[in-house]
Amino acid sequence: QITLKESGPTLVRPTQTLTLTCTFSGFSLSTGGVGMGWVRQPPGKALEWLALIYWDDDKRYSPSLMGRLTITKGTSKNQVVLRMTNMDPVDTATYYCAHTRRGFGAFDIWGQGTMVTVSS
């Protein structure tokens, strides 16, 4: 059974850097084809894809946020980390991590999400 859980700060000040960790179980990010993504959702708004990392360390970033995002495998083999710099109040959202597979294109398992508020 695959499970995912996001963790990180609930409150971030403007201009600060947000670091979120997704801790997962039930699969290995070393297995061929496996990928992990981050998706966010501002309150009452649409889902927005942010970043993807695959088992072979191939990475993808949202063009609108490229330059602010970094996705990496964590120091623990069952973690993925997302860093977003220069946070702004418009970045206030629930941030989700999700499992995918290269060539599949869909996110088949999601974490519960973590709400991040950007405010001074």
Partner 1 sequence: SYVLTQPPSVSVAPGQTARITCGGNNIGSKIVHWYQQKPGQAPVLVVSDDDDRPSGIPERFSGSDSGNTATLTISRVEGGDEADYHCQVWDSSSDHPVFGGGTKLTVL
List contacts with partner 1 (CB under 8 A): 37, 39, 46-49, 52, 60-63, 96, 104-108, 110-113
What 3-state DSSP class applies to 8?
coil
How buried is 65 (Cβ within 10 angstroms: 0-12 exposed, 13-18 middle, 19+ buried)?
A: middle
CA separation for the pair 35, 118 (Å, rounded): 28
Least distance (Å) between residue 112 CB and partner 1: 6
Pick the closer one to partner 1 by CB: 32 or 104: 104
CB 36 within 8 A of CB 6: no
Pick the closer one to partner 1 by CB: 43 or 75: 43
Pick the closer one to partner 1 by CB: 24 or 107: 107
Least distance (Å) between residue 117 CB and partner 1: 16
Least distance (Å) between residue 85 CB and partner 1: 20
**How many beta carbons lie within 10 A of that of residue 57, not counting itself?**
10
